[in-house]
Amino acid sequence: MIAKPLLKAAASLIAIAAFTAACATAPADTASPAADAPTAVEAQAYVDAAERELAERSVFESRTAWVYENFINFDTEWLLQRASAEGTEARVRLASGAGRFANVDLPADTRRKVDLLRLSLVLPAPQREGAADELAAITTRLSSAYSTGRIDYQGRQVTLDDLETMMGTERNAANLEEMWSDWHATARPMRDDYARMVEIANEGARDLGFANVGQMWLSNYDMPPAEMEAEVARLWGQMRPFYEQLHCHVRARLNAHYGDAIQPRTGPIRADILGNMWAQDWSTLMPMMRPRGAAATYDTTRLLTRAGYDARRMTETAERFYTSLGLQELPDSFWERSLLTRPRDRDVVCHASAWDLDNREDIRVKQCIQINAEHFETIHHELGHNYYQRAYMNQPYLYQNGAHDGFHEAIGDFIALNVTPEYLAQINLLQRNRIPPASADVSLLMERALGKIAFLPFAISLDQWRWQVFDGRTTPEEYNADWWAIRLGNQGIAPPNERPSDAFDPGAKYHIANNVPYLRYFLSYVLQFQFYEAACRQAGWEGPLHRCTVYGNREVGERFNAMMEMGASRPWPDALEAFTGTRQMDGSSMVRYFQPLMSYLQEQNRTEECGW
């Protein structure tokens, strides 16, 4: 998959905040301790004023960010820095002011909003003059460096979206290494800026009462940070045995294709030959991984091409899935204002994203759509963000978000899981007599696992690395070495060559350069299968779980929308229970979905030395 950010406001993308006027919240009379004691009434008034200010500010910031991402140049960078610095000063002022009520006995609703104010920041700047401007300049430089990056390849300038397509089809190891190495080299100049950003943000986190930025991020899940880390380890433990079997099988096939000199039969897999720039999605290797002797399946990319799909039609098809569940059509403004293809005349941020620019109906997608299976699923995913945004738009501003950040990603991916042969037949993309037989299920599951299972350890690696960076265990000199140590431990992959001493390979990933927390994607993969299994159960599906689609089921749509309408108004277990009937995130739905493939992999790996 292409990992994608949710953009509610510019601060969600650049995600910075600064403090300049916390003293404005202090009582004028400090002589009497009793007079200074904050009250529940004051807390409610404070929250109400904060919501009004943030709602108004977010519209300006969102529109500024939209213009920047669609017209990257000196002036739009300047505007974004200015909007970020000014707007996020207010956010830490409000967060710091909310800290006055941390120990006040408050009604549940007020308490939740106070806590959301304190925890709404991603990169907080400290309480000194100029910190917000410096942080805004750094984060904008990092974002622009990533989004304008190009490499010279075979006599022409190549953008990242071109590289992604090429790496999915190229099988020459020397060419793959060249593309991989040259793209990662574009991130090398980011390292010093990144290190300075960490210093500033950690100082700001301490001002807000957190040990570091990583601990602040982990406090966003309705449980203490240590418990959340343990929860991540538990969930990964449920699926790690499956990943190890997949890794073992893929490595053997790559060895058979490339030979020992390029990919040995044992040890880690070379990162550049996995069909994806970041080795996070291996689905383009499917022609090489298809089970021998398995019944023929189908090629969604070929189906889309033959049917004459373009970017608009792919988006309209995705919209129809949501309307088939009883949800409203997208507003006309969506079609007038979204960006669905890469412009030829300017630099844009092409990373797929969903936008809510006015906290009401001005929802949009920005995706440089290519006519292939991956982007077909991606546009189904992105519209999930938009439908979630629309569902909770009547909530107070502070509740206009997912139950936790993993929910927002899981919504669209749950819908994308429904892109099954049955669904493709229902939308007349696949002829019914071409629906693969049950004997092809292992092939279908293999293709899905190469995207879903392969992604899991990558998804936890990004934030595990950042937690170490923020708490000081990883210093700037160790950025690259520790990046690869973590990825080796979790993923069993290694770079294709010795990395330069000044390399900054983490910056070659969008979410590092743009400071988007990544744990949400791991959690979303757990949740999407829980949502999917619950929906199929509600629909009365009786066949194999992986063949289910709830396309057209309005009963499922009603319960689905009821969960989305809650937004962040309740702790996430309440939202989870509303749709699935359980209050705990659980990887067992994913295990059940892929069980037929697990049996196949174990049989295939009988003579292999698995692990790395």
Helix (H, G, I), strand (E, B) or coil at 148: coil
| HEC letters along 327-349 | CCCCCHHHHHHCECCCCCCCCCC
Examine the residue annotation and report whether 511 is marked as an active-site residue of this protein: yes
Q: Are 80 and 64 in contact (CB under 8 A)?
A: yes
DSSP per-residue string spanning 473-526: SS-GGGHHHHHHHHHHHHH-EE-SSPPPTT--GGGGSHHHHTT---HHHHHHHH
Residue 346 phi/psi, 5-degree rounding, is -165, 165
Take residue 168 and report the two structure tokens written for it: 């999915």
DSSP per-residue string spanning 75-96: HHHHHHHHHHHHHHHHHHHHHH
Give the Cα separation of 490 and 496 in Å (integer): 17
Residue type, 155: G
Best CA proximity match to 384, nearest among 560, 517, 541, 525:
560
Q: Among 382, 409, 447, 533, which one carries the catalytic annotation?
A: 382
Cα 574 to Cα 219, 403, 532, 578, distances in angstroms: 18, 9, 18, 6
Give the Cα separation of 187 and 197 in Å (integer): 15
Give the Cα separation of 364 and 359 in Å (integer): 12
Residues 6+ apart with CB under 8 A from 3: 280, 510, 511, 518, 521
Residue linked to tokens 């629906």: 435
DSSP per-residue string spanning 354-421: EEESSSSS-EEEE----SSHHHHHHHHHHHHHHHHHHHTTTS-GGG-S-SSHHHHHHHHHHHHHT-SH
Give the Cα separation of 218 and 541 in Å (integer): 37
Cα 335 to Cα 315, 366, 546, distances in angstroms: 10, 11, 32
Report the helix count and the strand count for the chain, using DSSP H and E. Answer: 26, 9
Give the Cα separation of 339 and 127 in Å (integer): 38
Best CA proximity match to 402, nearest among 519, 539, 552, 532:
519
Examine the residue annotation and report whether 382 is marked as an active-site residue of this protein: yes
Q: Are 432 and 401 in contact (CB under 8 A)?
A: no
Q: Among 184, 249, 351, 511, which one carries the catalytic annotation?
A: 511
Residue 356 phi/psi, 5-degree rounding, is -130, 105
Its sign, for the CA torsion 552, 553, 559, 563, is negative
Enzyme catalytic residues: 382, 511
